[in-house]
Structure 1
Amino acid sequence: MFKPNLIIFLFTLLLLNTSLCLRNRKEDKTKCPKVKAIRNFDLERLLNKWYVIEYYASSEEALPYRCMRADFTMSSLEVITMNFTYSFTDDPLNEQLLGNITWIIPNRAEPAHWIHSEDTYEGIYNTYVLDSDYGSWALLLHCAEKSKVPRYLSSFIMSREPTLGVNVISYLRDKLPRYDIDLSFMFDMPQNDCNSSSLANIPPSILANMNRPVQLGERRHPMKHIHG
């Protein structure tokens, strides 16, 4: 018969071994994390206009965008479109660019999970609504995966207004590390001076050498990431 102390000792060894195995197990960076989307999700309440307040993308080590705003529409019970505007932070003209992305809902029982429906991306592109109160804030996670290459993660903290309370932002940020998002690369999205396109403060030397269609037209918009 085992003595109580021996049983406790063996149980402790088992726990330590399990912990070491989990710690040493390599995470599959080619696959999207398992995501638990919001329950009892009301898609229609999420529609219409949002400001992107904070932005993360696994391929970005600095924030390339500013003034990102999104407008969600639904053309049917299974098709969602997001039209959005944004500018590049290094564009002295602050040109407002347009983009869009369309999703389908693969399972009507899970309306907070969408799949990219366009053929410009080769692979699986998931979007999840992680949380929202519909009237003030929302949190989205995007994950694209393609065979034998690293996955692509991005996330939006969104608000119905150009600003969002610090406590709410902190609450939403706390939900992201479990999906392997590094909060040190979660950037504030400036929403000030978004309609300014004055040439008055741009040096003539820059104006003389600018070729705007080449510089901006060749740059992929933030929701069209394609693995290299």
Structure 2
Amino acid sequence: MMKCTILMSLILMFLAAAADGKRKRPEDKVKCPKVKSLRNFDLQQFLGNWYVIQYYASSEEALAYRCMQAEFTMSVPFIDVTMNFTYSFTDDPLNEQLLGNITWSIPNPAQPAHWSHSEDTYEGIYNTYVVDTDYSSWALLLHCAEKSKSPRYLSSFIMSRLPILGVNVISYLRDKLPRYDIDVRYMFDMSQNECDVPQAGIEIPPSLLGSRVQATSRKHPMKHDHGK
């Protein structure tokens, strides 16, 4: 009886160690995580305007952006998805709104929640997945770019049709991200306040304007660097 108990304990210890090892698998910093496309996704319902409520990028340890908003459109026939977006930098005293866009193709019409883009300025192959959405209120996007012999670029948007989103919904969406190697400690709140240009009622000292960093020399929220 004693031998059986010892043997059973050893088996349980082995299984626990194996499970722990599986949980602590080494993270692949080059390849994008495997993502299942959202089933029964209706792209037509997803189109339109969204506010980015929280933002993550693997290359950043602090939030550099504010007032990020996106508009999704689709070509006819239904081949391409385009995101036109606006944003400004958190430390820009002028709160200048900058413009950007990216267009993806849909590799498999049967999986319209997966979009793919290939262009050097977007760091090689750039895949985007709609991880979850209810269409009318909230959505979760995952972006991942792979480039040969370079670390991947991983980013994610929690989005809302309104400038605010409920805490419970945000928590629900954040809980989905760790499985895709996203550290939610670096999933930052995106301010959607005072997004008019310029900020109303603010007098900016000339010295501050003189030290203002030009946007073209700074990081782009969907790329590693401007113009590269």
Q: Same fold (TM over 0.5)?
A: yes
1:222 aligns with 2:224: no
Deviates more, 1:114-123 or 1:186-195: 114-123
- TM-score between the two structures when normalised by the length of structure 2: 0.88
Question: 1:46-86, CA deviations, whole angstroms, 9 ceiling, x for partnerless residues?
Answer: 10100000101111111100000000000131200000000
Question: 1:184-218, CA deviations, whole angstroms, 9 ceiling, x for partnerless residues?
Answer: 111110001101415842113223x2577xx1123
Question: 1:136-178, CA deviations, whole angstroms, 9 ceiling, x for partnerless residues?
Answer: 1000000111222221111000000010111111111111111
- Do the aligned partners of residues 186 and 20 (structure 1) sit closer, same or farther apart at CA in structure 2, a change above 3 Å counting? closer
Find the counterpart in structure 2 of residue 63 from structure 1: 63
State the percentage of identical aligned residues.
69
Find the counterpart in structure 2 of residue 145 from structure 1: 146
Q: Give SS of 2:36's match.
A: coil
Find the counterpart in structure 2 of residue 206 from structure 1: 208
Measure how far apart 1:4 and its partner are: 6.4
1:85 aligns with 2:86: yes
1:126 aligns with 2:131: no
Q: Give SS of 2:224's match.
A: coil
Separation (CA, whole Å) in 1 of partners of 2:68 and 2:192: 7
Question: For the Cα contact (< 8 Å) 1:37–1:131, is it kept in 2?
Answer: no
Separation (CA, whole Å) in 2 of partners of 1:132 and 1:45: 10
1:135 aligns with 2:136: yes
Question: For the Cα contact (< 8 Å) 2:69–2:85, is it kept in 1?
Answer: yes
Counterparts of 1:32-181 in structure 2 under 5 Å?
A: 32-76=32-76, 77-181=78-182
- Do the aligned partners of residues 117 and 86 (structure 1) sit closer, same or farther apart at CA in structure 2, a change above 3 Å counting? same
- Do the aligned partners of residues 75 and 9 (structure 1) sit closer, same or farther apart at CA in structure 2, a change above 3 Å counting? same
Counterparts of 1:179-198 in structure 2 under 5 Å?
A: 179-198=180-199
Aligned-partner residue type, residue 123 of structure 1:
G
Question: For the Cα contact (< 8 Å) 1:128–1:140, is it kept in 2?
Answer: yes
Q: Give SS of 2:18's match.
A: helix
Separation (CA, whole Å) in 1 of partners of 2:126 and 2:203: 41
Deviates more, 1:131-140 or 1:120-129: 120-129
Which ranges of structure 1 fall in alignment gaps of 5 or more residues? none
Separation (CA, whole Å) in 1 of partners of 2:123 and 2:86: 24
Measure how far apart 1:179 and its partner are: 0.8
How many residues in Structure 1 have an aligned counterpart in Structure 2? 222
Question: For the Cα contact (< 8 Å) 2:27–2:181, is it kept in 1?
Answer: no
Separation (CA, whole Å) in 2 of partners of 1:22 and 1:59: 26
Q: Give SS of 1:44's match.
A: helix
Question: For the Cα contact (< 8 Å) 1:102–1:118, is it kept in 2?
Answer: no
Question: For the Cα contact (< 8 Å) 2:123–2:224, is it kept in 1?
Answer: no
Aligned-partner residue type, residue 29 of structure 1:
K
Separation (CA, whole Å) in 2 of partners of 1:137 and 1:171: 11
Which ranges of structure 2 fall in alignment gaps of 5 or more residues? none
Separation (CA, whole Å) in 2 of partners of 1:88 and 1:94: 7
Q: CA RMSD in A?
A: 2.3
Aligned-partner residue type, residue 63 of structure 1:
L
